[in-house]
A and B are shown apart, each in its own frame.
Chain A
Amino acid sequence: MAKPMEQITWQELEIGAVVTEVGSARQYHTGSWRSERPVVNKDQCIKCGVCWLFCPDISIVRAAEGHFEADLTYCKGCGICAKECPVGCITMVGEEE
Chain B
Amino acid sequence: MGKVRKGVEVSIAMADAVAQADVDVIAAYPITPQTHIVEHLADIVANGELDAEFVPVDSEHSAMSVCCGSAAVGARTFTSTSSQGLALMSEIFFISAAMRLPIVMALANRSLSSPLSIWNDHGDVMMVRDAGWIHVFVENGQESYDNVFCAFRMAEDPNVMLPVAVNLDGFILTHMIEPVEYEDDELIRQYLPEFKMKHALHPDKPVSMGCFGMPEIYTETQMHREDGVTNSYPHILKAWEEWGKLTGRYYHPIETYRADDAEYCIVTMGSYGETAMEVVDALREEGEKVGVVKIRLWRPFPFDEFRRAVLGKKSLIVIDRALSFGGPGGPVALELRSALYKKEGAPTIVNYIAGLAGRDVSRKDFRHIILEGKEKAASGDTEGFTLYGLRG
Contact = CB atoms under 8 A, between A and B. Distances in A.
Contact of A8 (B98, B99, B220): B220
A8 B198 contact: no
A17 B223 CA distance: 11
The main secondary structure of chain B at its interface with chain A is loop
A5 to B, nearest CB: 5
Nearest to B227: A10
A15 B207 contact: no
Interface residues of A, number: 18
A28 B206 CA distance: 19
A18 B209 contact: yes
A5 B214 contact: yes
Contacts of A16: 98-101, 161, 199, 209
A15 B161 contact: yes
Contact of A10 (B101, B207, B209, B223): B223
A36 B42 CA distance: 56
Contacts, number: 54
A17 B216 contact: no
A79 B220 CA distance: 34
Contacts of B98: 16-17
A15 B211 contact: no
Contact of B199 (A8, A9, A18, A22): A18
A13 B223 CA distance: 10
A15 B199 contact: yes
B102 to A, nearest CB: 10
Contacts of A17: 98-99, 211, 213, 217, 221, 224
Interface of B: 98-101, 161, 198-199, 206-209, 211-214, 216-217, 219-221, 223-224, 227-228
Complex A-B, nearest 3 residue pairs according to Cβ-Cβ distance, in ascending order:
A16-B100, A10-B220, A10-B223
15 contacts: A5-B216, A8-B220, A9-B220, A10-B220, A10-B223, A13-B221, A13-B224, A15-B100, A15-B199, A15-B224, A17-B221, A18-B99, A18-B199, A19-B211, A24-B208
Interface of A: 5-6, 8-11, 13-20, 22, 24-25, 28
